[in-house]
Amino acid sequence: MDLLKEKNIVLKSVPQPQVFPDAQQVELLDETLQLRLDRVLARMKASGHDYLVIYADKEHGANFEYLTGFIPRFEEALLVLAVSGKAFLLLGNENMKMSQHARIANHAICVPHFSLPNQPMDNPMTLAQALKDTGIHHASSVGIVGWKMFTSPTENNEQIFDLPYFMMNAIQRVVSPHAKICNAMHLFIGGDSGARVINSANEIAHYEYGANLASTCMLQAMNAIELNKIEKEIGHYLTADGQPNNVVTIAAFGQRFKNARLYPGENRITLSDRASLTTSYKGGLSSRGGYVAHDQHDLPPDQRDYLNAVAKPYYRAVVAWLEYMAIGVTGDDIYQRIETVLPKAQYGWHLNPGHLVADEEWMSSPIYSGSQAKIHSGMLLQIDIIPSVPGYAGASAEECVALANAELREQIAREYPQVWQRIQQRRAYIIEHLNIALGEDILPLSNLVGYLRPYLLNKNMSLCCE
């Protein structure tokens, strides 16, 4: 018998989760950066690559930052890494100063081509010459690391490159015609074996700050929702601490995407509006969807069965995800579990019901149909199930958790007691108030894991298990 189907999902008065607005950031240790470099070099050797060329810009800088500790902001940059461990930073005019602050020993080369338009081009060196100075022309195998790992079933994914053309053109001209050039993104984010897939205690503590911040913002935004406020007023609560968001902030009420608008605007909140809220920082996203209503009587007559048609089935899937997720299960196991509980043919979801999280909100995903990638201790995972049932608002309770075995849990508790205390308080809330049976492996990094208010004007009522 499927015990999950025996659980009754109810809407009732539940205390709000505790949030931690004063949580402090945890810096990445030098030992962590060295471990990251060692992981990448080991995968280079195993793959036979002499060099990696790692791209960065503001939107696509996570792999570069993984080793250097920074992104080039409004410029582009390349990290050329030799299998010996020698590193070259190719930087624009305004990032040359960062080479001395980088978390990796490096030789910096100024490439004005990466700078903003009309800035000085005093360096007469071409990009090809700058690349040649790294020694890459001696390589027999070069891996290109942009930001996307291609998984097309019909194309040669190793030969799809997502670097700007002028960079790839220079690389191909400099590298020996006998050398192999291929997409090496999988070395960083692939399946269950990429270098960035597994996190240490220090990295989990580092990322917990962002997951806590996003969910703290989200609860504040949810509590601020009132009739006649404008979207921008709610959007104000979805930013904090001067930290950069890694997704577009959403505070949308009523008709979405009017005039192609993505951002919170002047639209006023009215009764029965469909609502969508999202914010995200390094380490985790928090998202909510539902109705601006006190109860079903505030909804149009043909949508008053929203709880049974959408919200409760969705919540049952979230509970299934949380209770079934464990170290050692495969991505396909989780995918099929969600398909059983929330059939996509009926509920309209079609993306991966969960993915890995790091500096970026969606790094990659081991969770898809047929996936034999296993869930490992040290993974950071986002609950990401998106139902779409015609005629109704959506439902969303996206949050981030970490997976940790006994050894990793003990290390976090010992080295980061404040982080551990917050995790334990979140676990207690989920187990005691929401009646979700969390396994010991599951460490909630977000404050709102499992917390869903379908009616956003009724701030004391949320879904839970009985």
What are the tens digits of pLDDT across the range 200-216? 999 999 999 999 999 99
Strands (E), 323-421: 355-356, 380-382, 396-398, 400-403
Spatial separation of the C-alpha atoms in residues 208 and 400, rounded to whole Å: 9
The model's pLDDT over 134-173, given as tens digits with 9 standing for 90+, comes to: 999 999 999 999 999 999 999 999 999 999 999 999 999 9
Give yes or no for residue 22 having a pLDDT over 60: yes
- State the pLDDT at residue 262: 87
Domains of the chain: 3-26+196-465 (3.90.230.10), 50-183 (3.40.350.10)
What integer best gives the mean pLDDT of the chain? 96
Question: What is the percent of the chain where pLDDT is above 70?
Answer: 99
Burial of 372 (0-12, 13-18, 19+ CB in 10 A): exposed
Once rounded to an integer, what is the mean pLDDT over residues 107-131?
A: 93
The model's pLDDT over 36-66, given as tens digits with 9 standing for 90+, comes to: 999 999 999 999 999 999 999 999 999 999 9
Once rounded to an integer, what is the mean pLDDT over residues 369-380?
A: 97
Spatial separation of the C-alpha atoms in residues 203 and 463, rounded to whole Å: 32
The model's pLDDT over 309-362, given as tens digits with 9 standing for 90+, comes to: 999 999 999 999 999 999 999 999 999 999 999 999 999 999 999 999 999 999
258 band by pLDDT with thresholds 50, 70 and 90: confident
Question: What is the percent of the chain where pLDDT is above 90?
Answer: 95
Give yes or no for residue 16 having a pLDDT over 80: yes
Strands (E), 244-399: 250-253, 274-281, 284-291, 355-356, 380-382, 396-398
- Do the beta carbons of residue 370 and residue 384 sit within 8 Å? no
* β-bridge mates for residue 10, sequence order: 464
The model's pLDDT over 434-463, given as tens digits with 9 standing for 90+, comes to: 999 999 999 999 999 999 999 999 999 999
